[in-house]
Amino acid sequence: MTGQVIAFDNETNEGWILGKNNKKYSFHIGEWLSECKIVVGQKIYYEIEEDEARNIQVYKAIFSFRVDVCVVE
């Protein structure tokens, strides 16, 4: 599932995620699998277990595009 971090407390190492389904899920830093630090507003992938977010990873969009170049003399 995808969503975004809406709150994180560095003292308790706990936070909240808002899912695309508009439901809020709590999480603990132990479920954070990405190497980058937690930032409010980050888009993430996660799983839900017992109404808590698990296996949280930062969402990385992959883009590809094509560029046609035409040289006019």
Interval 11-24 mean pLDDT: 96
CATH number at 9 reads 2.40.50.140
Interval 8-22 mean pLDDT: 96
Both tokens of 9, joined, read 């407390």
pLDDT of residue 29: 96
pLDDT of residue 22: 96
How many domains are there within the chain?
1
Residue 64 domain-assigned (yes or no):
no
Domain range enclosing 47: 2-58
Burial 26-38 (b: 16+ CB within 10 A, else e): ebeeebbeeeeeb
Render pLDDT for 48-57 as a digit per residue (tens, 0 to 9).
Answer: 999 999 999 9
pTM of the entire predicted model: 0.77
